[in-house]
Amino acid sequence: MKANFEERYSRQILFRGIGSDGQRKLAAGRVAIVGCGATGSALASLLARAGVGTLRIIDRDYVEASNLQRQSLFEEKDAAESLPKAIAAARKIADFNSEISAEARVEDAVPENINELLDGMDVILDGTDNFESRYLLNDYAVKNSVPWIYAAAVGSYGVTLNVLPNQTACLACIFPDAPGGMVETCDTSGILNSAVNLVASIAATEAMKLLIGDEAIGLLRKTLWSFDVWKNEHSEIAAATPRPGCRACGDRNFVHLMGEGRPHITLCGRNSVQIHERARPIDFSEMQRRLESHGVVRHNEFVLKFWREPYEMTLFPDGRAIIKGTTDSGVARSLYARFVGS
């Protein structure tokens, strides 16, 4: 028998900062989580259990065994089936809280679809793994006056920033340009699940304050906060006011929304390249028949997997593909053209 609303959230309602009114505001809240890897899956789990009424989970990727060390919504069977992360997350959420809506969107958030993906959301949360995507979220949020929360974790380090458009500094205020040179990723530096869970817990709590509003808004942190769980070091950078002359919140020059200079993105944690093909619907059964003479192939309703040594191709229904075994976009596009079509 299902618990009623007051019983399910009784321990949270008892917390003075939330109460019955705050809990009902959470139930009416609509949150987009862009990226459902380590940070994104922890955010989705925390907010689903807290009773946020609608979670739109947007992710381009699929579950692998190496994800299970830190990505809390997934199981071994999800990895065995190469289940898209958004689908796997929504299914797991339905198992522990069927009273909220978890919308799975198996898509890559890009300038062409960002407006549709984030339309109607109250808060946007960052579960991505690259600055190009974060600048895109920042442009959208600032232009449309939607609060969003930047969050990242690598190694033993986590960092997060609340962005309230036209009130606080935005991501472009703090980082006018993406970090140059060798940038640490979980592929190069590894990652502790404790660092992930710490930064996700902080970001999820700040998101709850945004949804509850009123006095909770005054308690929002207005700094770029970072913490190293291994070294026990932390720091904060003031972010209470926008930076004069900021490209995004000052000049309202939304270059990332316009897609200018958008580079090819390689995926965190894998020797892979993503091929963006958004207008090529794929019939998996027909594609399997075409590919069987060229290598090993299998599919479910969400993805088709094709292995031809030394490469692995994961094909999605909209024509998008992830080619594993290379970081050379030319090689990846050649493989795609050969086996899927030009």
Tally Cβ neighbours within 10 Å of residue 64: 18
- Residue 243 CA to residue 3 CA, distance in Å, equals 48
Residue 33 to residues 104, 124, 178, Cα–Cα distance (Å)? 10, 6, 22
Render pLDDT for 235-249 as a digit per residue (tens, 0 to 9).
999 999 999 999 999
Query: Average pLDDT of the chain?
Result: 93
- Residue 252 CA to residue 45 CA, distance in Å, equals 34
Tell me the mean pLDDT in the region 45-69: 96
Residue 155 carries which DSSP code? B
Contact partners, residue 282, CB within 8 Å, separation at least 6: 304, 315, 316, 317, 318, 319, 340
Q: What are phi and psi of 158, to 5 degrees?
A: -130, 150
Q: How many CA atoms does the CB half-sphere of 226 hold within 13 Å?
A: 16
Tell me if 136 sits within 8 A of 125, measured CB to CB: no
Query: In this structure, which amino acid lies at residue 8?
Result: R
Burial readout 12-29 (b: 16 or more C-beta within 10 A, e: otherwise): bbeeeebeeebbbbbbeb
Give rounded-to-5 percent helix, strand, coil for the chain.
Answer: 35, 20, 45
Q: How many CA atoms does the CB half-sphere of 189 hold within 13 Å?
A: 12
If DSSP codes are grouped into helix, strand and coil, which group holds residue 234?
strand
Question: Could you tell me which CATH number the domain at 5-238 has?
Answer: 3.40.50.720
The DSSP annotation for 264-312 comes to P-PPTTSSEEEE---S----HHHHHHHHTTTSEEEE-SS-EEEEETTEE
**Does the pLDDT of residue 156 top 70, yes or no?**
yes
Tally Cβ neighbours within 10 Å of residue 271: 14
Residue 252 carries which DSSP code? -
Tell me if 291 sits within 8 A of 297, measured CB to CB: yes
pLDDT of residue 268: 61
Render pLDDT for 15-42 as a digit per residue (tens, 0 to 9).
999 999 999 999 999 999 999 999 999 9
Tell me if 84 sits within 8 A of 35, measured CB to CB: no
Residue 308 to residues 156, 305, 314, 322, Cα–Cα distance (Å)? 36, 10, 12, 14
Side-by-side strand order, sheet with 223-228: 101-106, 54-59, 30-34, 123-126, 148-154, 157-163, 223-228, 233-238
Tell me the mean pLDDT in the region 147-174: 97
The DSSP annotation for 15-59 comes to STTTHHHHHHHHHH-EEEEE--SHHHHHHHHHHHHHT-SEEEEEE
**Does the pLDDT of residue 270 top 80, yes or no?**
no
Which candidate, 82, 77, 62, places its Cα nearest to that of 274? 62
Fold: same for 5-238 and 272-339: no
Q: Identify whether 173 is a catalytic site residue.
A: no
pLDDT of residue 183: 65
Render pLDDT for 73-82 as a digit per residue (tens, 0 to 9).
999 999 999 9
Question: Could you tell me which CATH number the domain at 272-339 has?
Answer: 3.30.310
Give the residue extent of every domain in the chain. 5-238, 272-339
DSSP bridge partners of 10: none
Q: Looking at 36, 170, 173, 186, which residue is catalytic?
A: 186
Render pLDDT for 184-240 as a digit per residue (tens, 0 to 9).
777 677 899 999 999 999 999 999 999 999 889 999 999 999 999 999 999 999 999
Tell me the mean pLDDT in the region 145-149: 98
